[in-house]
Amino acid sequence: MDRKQHWENVYRTKRPSEVSWYQVEADVSVRLIQEVAPERSAPILDVGSGTSVLVAQLVAAGYDDVTVLDISGAAIAAAQARLGPSAARIRWIEADILDAQLPDSRYQVWHDRAVFHFLTEPADRAKYVAQVRRAVPPGGHALVAAFAEDGPTRCSGLDVMRYSPASLHAEFGAGFRLVKSERDEHRTPGGSTQMFTYCLCQRVDTG
């Protein structure tokens, strides 16, 4: 099964609150986004948003330039249905982040919770970082949350990578300055815990 089929199948067969990554509130992400982009006109991209509540929280906080990208059309449809009329205030892109046609230097904040860690091939991680470099201008930020070193080894039936703050920052390279990192303990709907590493990096101008 290819990557798109896998995720379409997940969202066709599970309700938003049944998936292990479900959060009632995306509070760590919202807090860190507000720290680096307090102005409500800041363009924000949520990569692999799924049916996350993050975009609803951003819209409720007054952000008016929010884009959601996901490989799964079923996820996007479910997210739109959950948002109701607010969905019209968000831009929606159904695409694989590795080959999406993203506009140059468009986003002040690139957010990803639990997508990058599925990239187990170095070539795919390099493609992902190239996309961040294209879409986020110098001065903008990438906020990436991945499983921590003591996090799960698999998720949604797929192998994952696990990261310390240093190893996650290292994936992004010299063009990104580590602003801060945090550990977060996620409690799944099934009652188990998963440790995440949040890495907030600023894109720096390396010429």
Ligand X SMILES: C[S@@+](CC[C@H](N)C(=O)[O-])C[C@H]1O[C@@H](n2cnc3c(N)ncnc32)[C@H](O)[C@@H]1O
- Binders of ligand X among 57-76, rule CB under 6 A? 69-72, 75
Instruction: State yes or no: residue 96 binds ligand X (CB under 6 A).
Output: yes
Instruction: Report CA-CA distances (Å) from 138 to 105, 108, 206.
Output: 8, 9, 9
Among 63, 116, 118, 176, binds ligand X (CB under 6 A): 118
Instruction: State yes or no: residue 28 binds ligand X (CB under 6 A).
Output: no
Instruction: State yes or no: residue 21 binds ligand X (CB under 6 A).
Output: yes
Instruction: State yes or no: residue 98 binds ligand X (CB under 6 A).
Output: yes
Stretch that binds ligand X, among 35-43, 91-99, 134-142, 190-198 (CB under 6 A): 91-99
Instruction: Report CA-CA distances (Å) from 139 to 25, 53, 181.
Output: 27, 26, 18
Q: Are 198 and 181 in contact (CB under 8 A)?
A: yes
Stretch that binds ligand X, among 30-38, 45-53, 177-185, 196-204 (CB under 6 A): 45-53
Instruction: State yes or no: residue 113 binds ligand X (CB under 6 A).
Output: yes
Among 30, 33, 42, 52, binds ligand X (CB under 6 A): 52
Cβ contacts of 113 within 8 Å, gap of 6 or more: 21, 26, 29, 48, 52, 54, 144, 145, 196
Residue where the block lists tokens 């639990």: 114
Q: Are 164 and 170 in contact (CB under 8 A)?
A: no
Rule CB under 6 A: which residues touch ligand X? 3, 7, 21, 48-50, 52, 69-72, 75, 96-98, 113-115, 118
